[in-house]
Amino acid sequence: MASIVLATGFGSTAIAPSVTTRIVIAHLTGDAPGANAAAHGWSASQDAVVWLIRLPRVLLAAIVGAALAMVGVALQAVTANRLADPHLLGVSAGATFGAVFATLFLGAIFGPFTLSLLAFAGAAVATLAVIGLAHAHGRLERDRLLLAGIAVSFVMLAAANLLLYLGDQRAASSVLFWTLGGLGLARWDMLAIPATIMFAGSVTLFGRRRELNALMTGDLAAVTLGVHVARVRAEVFLIGALVTGAMVAVSGAIGFVGLVTPHACRPVVGAEHGRLLPVSALLGAVLLIWADVLARTLIAPEDLPIGVVTALVGGGCFIALLRFQKRR
């Protein structure tokens, strides 16, 4: 909550936290001042900036950050690979391909759900391809999984670029948005779908916390504990594709959140997923909120792609974590 209030006040026009809080409370209680904002202690422009522009963007950052962090935790558990995350396993690239295809060739054929549906379809296809390539001798090879994810990611991004070349040349900015990420399109009416999918995905993954704990010990140990390994792994991959597809549809492909956040949380709360999942969601939300603040303030009034910021910050944090673990 503190990050939401503070981040909403940051920008080319700084707004005090007390003013931000009073504006939000006024709108939530139905006492929106509108043109009479000055009588409430703030200007009409401040009211519009906070309620219509910045707060939806900050809330979208929190939703996307929490969702990607939880998916990263779950993927690292079912693959028993600490390098797994939606970006490295090609899920984000597949969702990007689906979103680009919908943008260039389909429009709103399925109404407001078109982008989410096509992004999910692309993420699902990429996930199935990675799983198929990583299987050897009837089981999922962890080393092959990461290599397959990188290969599928390159193929999907190349396909997205090919669609751009074959489609409308004026859509280059849209494709850049999907490949590098951005939250500048956030509006109140687009928060419901990603928030619902994030909440449903988090509840489902939290309900599988015991199975995730067992899978971290290896397939054989999980089977002896009564876990149906293939079914649980398929469910988690499906949930990961659905959640990642919905997030990519509204924010583009954002990397490193799902990779770095679990590593930052495990030294604090341990590897038990009953604690790791909610704490990772909280840290992922906070991380992406402040990454977005950097994205819109470093070269203000222009926006940096948030994927660039998360890669720089996340990569630096990951290197620091590796050095800390090595010294310990």
Q: Is residue 52 part of a domain?
A: no
Q: Is residue 34 part of a domain?
A: no
φ/ψ of residue 303, rounded to 5: -105, 135
Per-residue pLDDT band at 116 (split at 50, 70, 90): confident
Q: Is residue 139 part of a domain?
A: yes
Q: Is residue 75 part of a domain?
A: yes
Tell me the pTM: 0.87
Tokens of 145: 């999984």
Specify the pLDDT at position 248: 84
Specify the pLDDT at position 283: 95
pLDDT tops 80 at residue 60: yes
d(CA 12, CA 292): 14
Q: Above pLDDT 90, what percent of the chain?
A: 25
6: DSSP letter: H
Q: Give pLDDT tens digits for 136-187.
A: 766 767 668 778 888 998 998 888 888 877 776 666 666 676 678 888 888 9
Per-residue pLDDT band at 108 (split at 50, 70, 90): low
Domain containing residue 232: CATH number: 1.10.3470.10
Residue 108 burial (C-beta neighbours within 10 Å; 0-12, 13-18, 19+):
exposed
pLDDT tops 60 at residue 34: no
The total number of residues written for the chain in this structure: 328
Range 105-133 average pLDDT: 80
d(CA 80, CA 109): 39
Q: Is residue 59 part of a domain?
A: no
Tokens of 26: 């006024």
d(CA 296, CA 198): 24
d(CA 256, CA 199): 21
Number of domains making up the chain? 1
Per-residue pLDDT band at 299 (split at 50, 70, 90): confident
> Are 70 and 280 within 8 A, CB to CB?
yes
d(CA 289, CA 10): 11
Domain that holds residue 234: 66-327
Closest CA to 251 of 168, 190, 302: 190
> Average pLDDT, whole number, for the chain?
84
Q: Is residue 18 part of a domain?
A: no
> Are 91 and 123 within 8 A, CB to CB?
yes
Alpha helices in 172-272 (DSSP H): 172-180, 192-207, 209-215, 219-224, 229-251, 257-269
Range 111-128 average pLDDT: 81
Specify the pLDDT at position 179: 74
Please indicate whether residue 194 or residue 174 has the higher confidence score (pLDDT).
194
> Tokens 């687009």 — which residue?
190
Q: Is residue 16 part of a domain?
A: no
SS3 (DSSP) at 328: coil
Q: Give pLDDT tens digits for 241-274.
A: 889 888 888 888 888 888 889 988 998 999 899 9
Q: Is residue 306 part of a domain?
A: yes
d(CA 14, CA 10): 5
Bridge partners of residue 136, in order along the sequence: 139
Q: Give pLDDT tens digits for 272-293.
A: 999 999 999 999 999 999 999 9
